[in-house]
Amino acid sequence: MSRSLRVANGGSIRRTRLLSFSFNGTLYSGFEGDTLASALLANNVRTVHRSFKYHRPRGVVGSGAEEPNSIVQVGSGSKATPNLRATQIELYDGLTARSVSGWPSLRVDLYALNGLLGRLLPAGFYYKTFMRPRFLWSWYEHFIRKAAGLGQAPREADLDHYDKLNIHCDVLIVGGGPTGLMAARAAGRAGARVIMADEQAEMGGSLLSSTASIGGKKPGDWVETVVSELTRMPEVILLPRSTVTGYYDHNFLVINERRTDHLERPDPRLRRERIWRVRASQVVLATGAIERPLVFSNNDKPGVMLASAVSTYLVRYGVLPGRKIVFFTNNDSAYQTVLQLVDAGMEVVAVVDVRSDPQGDLIQQVRSAGVPIFEGHVVVDVRGGTSGLRMVLIARVNKTLDEILSHKGELRCDVLAVSGGWNPVVHLHAQSGGKPVFNEECASFLPGPSVQNERSAGAGNGTFGLADCLREGAEAGRRAAQDAGLTGDGSVDIPKVESHVEGSLHPIWVVPNGLAEGRGGKKFVDLQNDTTVADIRLAAREGYRSVEHLKRYTALGFGTDQGKLGNINGMAILADVLGQAPGKIGTTTFRPNYTPVTFGAIAGREIGSTFFDPTRKTAVHQWHVENGAEFEDVGQWKRPWYYPLPGETMNEAVRRECLATRESLGILDASTLGKIEIRGPDSAEFLNRIYTNSWLTLEIGRCRYGLMLGEDGMVMDDGVTSRIGEDHYLMTTTTGGAAHVLAWMERWLQTEWPHLRVYLTSVTDHWFVTSVAGPNSREILTKLCTDIDFSADAFPFMSVRAGTVAGIPARVYRISFSGELAYEINVSANYGRSLWQAIMTAGQSLNITPYGTEAMHVLRAEKGYIIVGQDTDGSVTPGDLGMDWIVSNGKDCIGKRSLSRQDTRRENRKQLVGLTTVDPTLVLPEGAQLLNEPAKEFPAPMVGHVTSSYFSPSLRHSIALALVKGGRSREGSMVYAQLIDGRVIPATIGQPKFFDPENQRQKV
């Protein structure tokens, strides 16, 4: 394992910068400019992964985003990132990585026994085997997940920061290869605002592993010239290490930029990743192509690689993946790599070409270089283990490539480089809404007609020659700028490159091995999911004939690589079984993201209690904190729930708060109620239409309770609205309903009644509101306010007065949600705390007691006052609540017509009732289902449910509100709450009103 595969010179690695890193606990070294994969190969590490299902040893196959095998976990602690492709991880000093699978180790994997049981693990195995008994699934799942090797998410909080940016541009260019560079040059010269994103660390794409000269320059030098021209253009943004992961509607694209993962000690001020949200006028997709593997027996063994990857490792990283390399191809492109190896003085054992008479310039060159070419031959099988290949077995094949004519013998080698043609990367085109179309010439899918403002160019468009790519790129960039409205001169000279006459490709989807179907070594289609040819054929026989069904049954294309290598082969194999042409059955859906995106990047800064969802606090929040309040979340608001004294339980605190309010004086922070100013000459008419009751006669200085319905007749919100002046009203809404009610009223005004002169303003946050409730509330108000007459006649129930309370200008409302004599004092929010403290001081002698939302709920439930959203659920009419009295007969309002629909007239609708438990100490759980008799079997017929339930300290027994079918006519009869723990609690139906049913106390 110690033999280095690094060649003496060459490659764009910086050999003066030696880096050390660890893989599965072993220390290795590499150079700056390496990827983890190239460094592992240089160290002759052959097996990097154990496969998903059979736990077969796997090695590096590719050199980029397509890599299905070398899936590793990098880093540790909060920095750990699972499921990264070693081919895309830039090496830095001190990098630690480990494989995400293999137990107890990569070389000895006990799960590999699955491989021997392979015949028992066909497609759909999990569906067929682990379905029964169903309750065991979670037990099975634990072991399946452990066996499957999916990496581990870090358990610690992520300490890194992530950003999001929004940006517009004229031309977004995806891919910085030769095509993209030319496009950027042309668009940039035309004056366009250009963004060019490339997933690699530097621009250049395929040129980074090319040896062909461009315009008389080395590829690297040419790239540098173009990049430096682009860098000088002020309107051009170049984004390396940036993957365009999604193409959405209206030319909205998302770029995932990775800024620090390649750094040994990143500056902590740098954001680890950024999400660019781009609205592009025009898009050029120069996404390139991914080489297609060939499917033959044991094609998954470590040492079988893509020919293009061999080229990349040699030219770019100075790593020769093997000493003795055999090529297996059905097209001309692999010959380019053969020549690169020959030029570098390496041994190429042979080229095995399925074509019986391959013609093309490169083939002649390889032949004259003395490399043997086996024409009309195939590789039928390979031999090797965890440390690489030993040999390949070759055979003569017939012209239609489906039958072995004669076995030829073996070729000793340590690497087999395969090329089955090229698959243009059409993912983004497909995401944009385009339909890829099958092209016979390259035997793959090409972009179809554009649906959005995008155009494909270069290899991603099925144009494979370098000269054509350069030309097409320049043209795409020029036209994109033009279509974006730019008038500058976008012309560029096309640099001269050497071009070859190429022979045509001969598609071969499954390489025969001369044995009956299913015999011989497994032929893998999707390496990451261990999907084989036999699996696909079995799925087709079992009726999974659509590609989408095939995908879900065999897991083809389901991995983190999303089938970048295997999908086209898999679809062609299915088409073949179905007797169709490969393009006929289409592709599976290409969905974002192109490569995996971290949750950190997706979340950005919208994390934690501060930024995920804002918190709203009232003006007196700090006082509540200082006085030990426990808080309850109501929407985004923090509301005091109860104020426990030292050593007090919640029940004790709530009891004390309720009794103090009923007996003397309680004070509540009611600021969170929604408040909407309604102004304009038609305000009364508007309220008349929105609320069920009549508003035309309300006098200035008076208040009225109103109920609001949806047009379907269901209760939507409620609250007290007061008339402040001639054309001036103040509406209050529920805490949670404020925004919705405002939007709802705005909509009616704008779309249906634009002629009404009414203006709405949200003033929820402008006012601090406190409710002072209890028999002594008049006494304390009289103490604090001398310019309002608080006598019962001068200031009757349901009215409002303006005055000065504790020296602060205030509006005082005489309204009550507790059933007690009560006043609500409204002051400008900035005076909130001084008002509150003045009242607390003045109330000391009256045992003034702050109470929270829990006591508020108990007090209102004792009175039978509903809370919209708790006692109603969007299916409750005013009639169901026993509130028919609030629906005016003399006028229309939103939702009124719905109250006489057949369904809303039904007798046995659920109606609001009160419940008292037979055992007064038992408090029914809210949400408990009610039955007419204890259940004998399940499911049992349910007649209603509990909506509110408390222990009433004043009445000393439990009380509940419930919705019960036909409940109002069942007063005195019993229902049974059937609890989930098996208990059955009997309760008696009564009026939804438990305390002071004559409403005497609030009117004194």
Binding site for other proteins (CB under 8 A): 166, 248-252, 279, 433, 451, 711-712, 743, 746-747, 750-752, 754, 892, 896-898, 901-902
How far CA 691 is from CA of 675, 713, 796, in Å, comes to: 16, 11, 23
Residue 340 CB, shortest distance to other proteins, in Å, is 44
Residue 870 CB, shortest distance to other proteins, in Å, is 26
| Choice between 275 and 320, CB closer to other proteins | 275
How many CB atoms within 10 Å of residue 492?
23
| Choice between 357 and 892, CB closer to other proteins | 892
How many CB atoms within 10 Å of residue 754?
9
| Choice between 71 and 678, CB closer to other proteins | 678
Query: Rounded to the nearest 5°, which phi and psi values hold at 220?
Result: -60, -40
CA-based nearest residue to 57, from 121, 111, 107, 2: 107
Q: How far apart are CA 873 and CA 117, in angstroms?
A: 55
- Strands in 728-733's sheet, in edge-to-edge order, are 703-709, 715-725, 728-733, 674-679, 759-762
How far CA 88 is from CA of 126, 387, 709, in Å, comes to: 32, 23, 58
Residue 599 CB, shortest distance to other proteins, in Å, is 20
Contacts with 186 (C-beta within 8 Å, 6 or more apart), sequence order: 473, 474, 475, 476, 477, 478, 481, 490, 491, 492
Inter-helix orientation angle 307-315/333-343, to 10°: 30
| Choice between 253 and 698, CB closer to other proteins | 253
Residue 412 CB, shortest distance to other proteins, in Å, is 57
Residue 708 CB, shortest distance to other proteins, in Å, is 16
Residue type, 731: M
| Choice between 249 and 626, CB closer to other proteins | 249
Residue 826 CB, shortest distance to other proteins, in Å, is 25
| Choice between 646 and 890, CB closer to other proteins | 890
Residue 111 CB, shortest distance to other proteins, in Å, is 43
| Choice between 451 and 578, CB closer to other proteins | 451
Residue 901 CB, shortest distance to other proteins, in Å, is 6
Residues in the chain: 1004
Q: HSE on the CB side for 406, CA within 13 Å?
A: 1
| Choice between 279 and 407, CB closer to other proteins | 279
| Choice between 269 and 755, CB closer to other proteins | 755
- Give the DSSP per-residue string, 381-440: EEEEETTEEEEEEEEEE-TTSSSEEEEEEEEE-SEEEEE--EEE--HHHHHTT---EEET
Residue 892 CB, shortest distance to other proteins, in Å, is 6
Q: How far apart are CA 185 and CA 191, in angstroms?
A: 10
Q: How far apart are CA 715 and CA 564, in angstroms?
A: 53
> Which residues are bridge partners to 366 per DSSP?
none
| Choice between 343 and 892, CB closer to other proteins | 892
Place of tokens 């289902």: 929
How many CB atoms within 10 Å of residue 879?
18
Q: How far apart are CA 109 and CA 283, in angstroms?
A: 47
First to last CA, the chain: 95
| Choice between 438 and 590, CB closer to other proteins | 590
Residue 281 CB, shortest distance to other proteins, in Å, is 11
Contacts with 183 (C-beta within 8 Å, 6 or more apart), sequence order: 171, 173, 196, 284, 286, 457, 473, 474, 476, 477, 480
* Sign of the dihedral through C-alpha 757, 827, 833, 768: negative
Residue 889 CB, shortest distance to other proteins, in Å, is 10
Exposed, middle or buried: residue 773 (CB in 10 Å: 0-12, 13-18, 19+)? buried
Place of tokens 């099925």: 462
| Choice between 3 and 250, CB closer to other proteins | 250
Residue 717 CB, shortest distance to other proteins, in Å, is 18
Q: How far apart are CA 807 and CA 419, in angstroms?
A: 87
Residue 236 CB, shortest distance to other proteins, in Å, is 23
The angle at the Cα of 678, spanning 676 to 684, to the nearest 5 degrees, equals 130
* Sign of the dihedral through C-alpha 849, 854, 860, 864: negative
> Which residues are bridge partners to 579 per DSSP?
none
| Choice between 279 and 833, CB closer to other proteins | 279
Residue 213 CB, shortest distance to other proteins, in Å, is 44
Residue 939, preceding bond cis, omega within 30 degrees?
yes
- Chain center to CA of 814: 49
| Choice between 138 and 902, CB closer to other proteins | 902
CA-based nearest residue to 385, from 489, 303, 476: 303
Q: How far apart are CA 389 and CA 404, in angstroms?
A: 23
Question: What 8-state DSSP symbol labels residue 52?
Answer: T
Residue 877 CB, shortest distance to other proteins, in Å, is 14
| Choice between 63 and 904, CB closer to other proteins | 904
| Choice between 79 and 279, CB closer to other proteins | 279
Strand 377-385 and strand 388-397: pairing? antiparallel
| Choice between 631 and 744, CB closer to other proteins | 744
Residue 751 CB, shortest distance to other proteins, in Å, is 5
Residue 196 CB, shortest distance to other proteins, in Å, is 22
Residue 900 CB, shortest distance to other proteins, in Å, is 8
Q: How far apart are CA 794 and CA 781, in angstroms?
A: 14
How many CB atoms within 10 Å of residue 862?
23
DSSP 3-state of 37: helix
How many CB atoms within 10 Å of residue 182?
29
Residues 744 and 734: beta-carbon distance below 8 Å:
no
| Choice between 12 and 898, CB closer to other proteins | 898
